Chains A and B, each alone.
Chain A
Amino acid sequence: MTKFTITDPRGLGLGLNRRQIIQGAGALAGAAALGGLATGPAVSQENVLNILTWPGHGDPAFVKPFEDEHGVKIVAKEYVGGEPMLALMNQSPPGSFDVVLADAEYIGMLQESSFIDEMDPADYPLADYWPEFQKFDLHWKNDKLYSVLIRFGYLGMAYRTDLVTPEDVKSYNVMWTEKVKGKVGFFDWYLPTMGCLSLRDGNKPPFDIDAAQFEKLQETLYSLRPQTSGFYSMADQFAMLTNGTAGIIPGIGDWVVLLLQQSGVPVAATVPDEGGIQWTESMSIVSSSTKKDLAKKFIQYASSPEGQFRSARLPAYWASIPNKKGWEKMNAEAPEDAKKLRHTFDARNVMDEYKEGKIFIRQTPVQQGIEEWNDSWSEFKAM
């Protein structure tokens, strides 16, 4: 795996690698441009495949073999959060992107707005996927496939092991204890955090709640304010867990801690007894693309054992993969990483939690609008 050397003085204190700094800078630039209107048409030469993705998916560690094989360049436009992704899709000229990597809960919206094409299941190795992911509900509409699952992970709580014990974090209630007062950090995105708090309130599924339950959820959220340390961008979460400003962060998971653990930071992630949220990253072919064949080949690569093996250990952040053959490859070629990712076949692995029914797919609010949830989040931040 590519290791990045520290090229920034901040690395001295925070153990961040260059990639995270770049992400931070990217987040800043994004904030400066305020997300969208400033985006021009992406590069559109013949030998370029434009992908719209979460940070890190254009990394050579993942795309290099595909680029070499097809003599193309992958150009990634990165976003953080499903709503900015939708905004970019809406505001960019047709043809800007060939492939979009999105969270499953946004696939339906992309399909309804005719941003993505129907796909032929036979083109992709879905039969090699774990049975639970062979026909992943949110990717199908009227029995037609619109997206292929590439990676996933669970969201519960990430915590510093020198502050709280695995026993403490068996319940989300630990966030209200004296131990973590002023140390509860937040990923600045309403959806995962409020989803986990909804599970804490006993709402199953957590995003389909009525008015009374929503009111209760707001109360739960607001009651965490005195415990709060701060609200972090994607990159800042790594920094704040590392430097100890944040002792516990709900609504995130392995994707944050696995890389930190490798740098020796005392952190871990857990899915509490009340349950966790599943996040997914899936790839679709953009309808306005002029290189749909190449787009298809790229998704085929990403879902193949080789692509899966590489994608799981993306330098930006690690994730679980749905292709069993990818698991086999990892166990054969990088058994240590398979253990860290809990992708082994002979011990308890990530599929067990799924089977136990503790995991709920992340989705946008069902009975309330996104705005209502989002406004509660703004209210919470401003308290």
Chain B
Amino acid sequence: MTTKLRSPSETLRFGLFLGTPTLIWQVAFFLVPLGFLVAMTFWSVRSFRLTPDFTLANWTMILNAGFFRSAFVYTFLMSLLAGLIASLAAFPVAYALTFRVSPGLKRLLVFMLVVPFFTSFPVRVYSMQIFFSPSGIINTALAPLGLGPISVLNSPTGTMIGFLTLTAPLVILLQTIALGAVDRQLIEAAHNLRCGRLRTIFTVIIPSARVGLVVAGAFAFVLAFGDYISPQFLGGSNPPTLSILIADQVKSGNHWPRASVVAVIMIATLMLVLGVLLKLAYGGRRAAR
């Protein structure tokens, strides 16, 4: 019997067959709206009505606005910090899940990490207000110890707690997957060569899982950067982030074009950051070996 090898064109056809629905979906619901979003940045608003136009006024206005610059810097730094904290805090957990617990316990714990996604984030954030309000559960518990009251709501701390709640479970899951893919033989070899645990982590495990770890952190950054719920309902919009700025531009004045400018800048920023991070992840691999 002869084995029939698939020709490259056949493979391509099969690939297209599989990928086309997704491709159509992406074009219809991502690329086209994105093009529309960019076009709208040049429109104008006359008595609350959107009017197709070609004006640079929205760009000039937003780029020169002090409130936009502050919101940009604030959102960027907060998301960066969220990505860093989430990554650092998640690593020991992911490490333990991958290398230290039994497979059964690991399955249970991974399941527990998925549970938060069962409830919508706004609902979780609202319930967190109980914990953090001045007379809430935390402060009531602290009072007898002579501590507090701590004030979290309506501050960057509140926003950060929201960001971390949103991103941490995902970062842990992604890191766990990344660490799971590390070749155990490398670790065993390191141990056989009398490399200590910490040194193994830093010279073998982290470099081997680097791509996954960076991607996990990048996800945290992306999610935090676009989150509206935490900065609004835990941070009290104090100060506002870019996503709040988008809502504000639309809320009073129906200024979709200005909101689109902010959105386009956000998308560009995310692409740039992801580009840099992926370069960091994949580039210079030789050094890690």
The number of chain B residues with a CB under 8 A from chain A is: 47
Residue pair A243, B66 in contact (C-beta under 8 Å): no
Q: How many angstroms between the C-alpha atoms of A37 and B229 in the bound complex? A: 20
Question: A36's contact among B232, B252, B254, by CB below 8 Å, is which?
Answer: B254
For the A-B complex, the count of residue pairs with Cβ-Cβ distances under 8 Å equals: 142
What's the nearest-Cβ distance from chain B to residue A248, in Å? 14
**Among A78-86, A122-130, A205-213, A254-262, the stretch in contact with B:** A78-86
For B269, what are the chain A residues with a Cβ–Cβ distance below 8 Å?
none
The number of chain A residues with a CB under 8 A from chain B is: 52
For A90, what are the chain B residues with a Cβ–Cβ distance below 8 Å?
48-49, 254
Q: How many angstroms between the C-alpha atoms of A152 and B145 in the bound complex? A: 48
What's the nearest-Cβ distance from chain A to residue B32, in Å? 14
Interface flag for B165 (CB, 8 Å)? no
Q: Given contacts A14-B133, A245-B133, A374-B252, are A34 and B259 in contact (CB under 8 A)?
A: yes
Q: Which residue from chain A places its CB closest to the CB of B122 in the assembled complex?
A: A28
Residue pair B135, A244 in contact (C-beta under 8 Å): yes
Q: Which 6 A-B pairs have the closest CB atoms?
A: A230-B236, A230-B154, A243-B133, A382-B67, A13-B130, A87-B254
- Mask, B247-289, CB within 8 Å of A = 1, is 1111111111001000000000000000000000000000000
Residue pair B251, A243 in contact (C-beta under 8 Å): no
Residue pair B126, A10 in contact (C-beta under 8 Å): yes
Q: How many angstroms between the C-alpha atoms of A10 and B128 in the bound complex? A: 8
Residue pair B135, A374 in contact (C-beta under 8 Å): no
Q: How many angstroms between the C-alpha atoms of A336 and B209 in the bound complex? A: 69
Q: How many angstroms between the C-alpha atoms of A9 and B123 in the bound complex? A: 10
For B259, what are the chain A residues with a Cβ–Cβ distance below 8 Å?
34
Q: Name B213-261 residues within 8 Å CB distance of A.
A: 228-229, 232-233, 235-240, 244-256, 259
Q: Which residue from chain B places its CB closest to the CB of A29 in the assembled complex?
A: B122
What's the nearest-Cβ distance from chain A to residue B214, in Å? 30
Interface flag for A228 (CB, 8 Å)? yes
Question: A14's contact among B129, B240, B246, by CB below 8 Å, is which?
Answer: B129
- Mask, A189-220, CB within 8 Å of B = 1, is 11100000000000000000000000000000
Q: Which residue from chain B places its CB closest to the CB of A371 in the assembled complex?
A: B253
Q: Given contacts A9-B130, A25-B122, A28-B229, are A228 and B238 in contact (CB under 8 A)?
A: yes
Residue pair B47, A113 in contact (C-beta under 8 Å): yes
Residue pair B250, A229 in contact (C-beta under 8 Å): no
For A379, what are the chain B residues with a Cβ–Cβ distance below 8 Å?
65-67
Q: Name B51-68 residues within 8 Å CB distance of A.
A: 65-68
Interface flag for A381 (CB, 8 Å)? yes
For A185, what are the chain B residues with a Cβ–Cβ distance below 8 Å?
154, 236
What's the nearest-Cβ distance from chain A to residue B63, in Å? 14
